[in-house]
Structure 1
Amino acid sequence: MSITAAMVKELRETSGAGMMDCKAALKENGGDMEAAIDWLRTKGLAKAAKKAGRVAADGLVSVASNGNVAAVIELNSETDFVARNELFQKLVRDVASVAVATEGGVEALAAAPYPGADKTVEAEIKDAVATIGENMTLRRSTRLSVSEGVVATYIHSAVVDGMGSIGVLVALESAGAADKLQALGRQIAMHVAATNPMALNVDELDPAAVERERAVYVEQAKESGKPENIIEKMVEGRLRKFYEEVTLVKQSFVINPDLTVEQAIEEAAKEIGSPIKLTSFVRYALGEGIEKEETDFAAEVAAAAGN
């Protein structure tokens, strides 16, 4: 019997097990859904599945690099206590190293072989859930590369080397000396961690976000009672200011506020003696966008005590 994506999806939703495990379970049991669930239980995956409903908003962001390629991942856990666990940290470090060698997003990474084990990254995470006792989620992964140059990395609030609460990648294309490019890239990555730009440049801004800003500025300008042609100039001036605040290349460089990031790169290119192009950046902040469940700790303690 042919195993369809819809069948895998249904089993994932029913069991809470990983995609690759569900696919294997269905293949082993000829597409029989109930038999596949029992198969997952016998393999010890049901224990992990029971934890899958719990919110995982803590954990670690990690970066790894190899020359002109680097990756950043976010592996979530339920509590920050687990982020201090050496087993969890090893898992995060290993997954980040796999991400450097794996093209594609989080699904490709989940399906990639885990180092030193005859299993996938997803399967190793499932095993860690059972061992450590908390739900874990490989939430996202991004890999950047350049044909010539460096992809610099930076971790803010590092728990251990290469892991913390904010991870940044900055890709610089250049034929200049790698050590000098790394130094510049790290400074720009620190800037990105601090300022959280919306986009690399104006062309990469979300048009919907720009239109929302424009609409607000138009309404504000109309209240001045000025003529339409003056209003338009006022709006364009405010938009220019907005671009300077939210696009990386136009922002005032935190390392040297007298220069924009764009100007700082131009200055560095003169020193290095080779053109430098900032091609892309990525910034991950741990747990951003996850709604963490609010709990009544006193009530939990009372319940645990049988009150």
Structure 2
Amino acid sequence: MTPPGLTPADADRLLEAATAAADAAACVIRPFFRAGISVDDKSDSSPVTVADRTAERTIRAILAERLPDHAVLGEEFGLERGDARRCWVIDPIDGTRAFVTGRPTFGTLIALLDDGVPVLGLIDQPITGERWIGVRGRPTRYESGLPGTVGTRRCAALNLAELSCTSPEMIADAPTPHWDALRRAARRVTWGGDCYAYGLLALGQVDLVAECTMKIWDWAALVPVVEGAGGRMTDWHGRPLRADGDGTVLAVGDPAILADAVSLLNTGRPAG
């Protein structure tokens, strides 16, 4: 089933626009990869490059041509047509630190919000050629020449879970002091990955991702991908993710471990 306000034909039309935008952005990004381009620091000290800015302009141009009545919110250039019900949310290079150091674990994120709810999400890795496509109410699709089958895996308990997080520095700004309790409860933790880790969760390679300081363009595209593969995404309190939320994001492949993960993040103890 498709969610209210998004018919099957509508979903196909919107997905066509999103994939065209991702294809064009990939063509922009590839020539800059490992090309020794300069890196600027934004006001929040996060890095940005000509690849980020050019890719976002390209995505915006395609969406504006095909869907001129839709709003667009991007990390680099802000909000346009903000009164529209449907809003595209763009992160042209999620994982710029990975990109500028030559690691192919970044991705282009394109999401569509319908009345604030993520109904379409796309993760595109332009170097490896991997693409995850999520449409709310449909199974996630994985398009790639690399091995991988969509579907989160069963994980009966947190002590069996592979936990991923982008960086320890991110956790230093966490709103609660209990992330380390989750780390100790998990089987092991792997650092790095940005949006790529959520794609791996959708393939059953990772069981759990817990991060903070996330903006809407960091997570909006991930929700349909993860949930369409059988997982769940919430904030650290187990609540639906919101643009005005606290920036925490929790993704689980097996919903059975969600309650314990939420409890550990908030109290330092598992549920029950």
Provide the TM-score with structure 2 as the length reference.
Answer: 0.30
Structure whose CA Rg is larger: 1
Provide the TM-score with structure 1 as the length reference.
Answer: 0.27
Higher helix proportion: 1
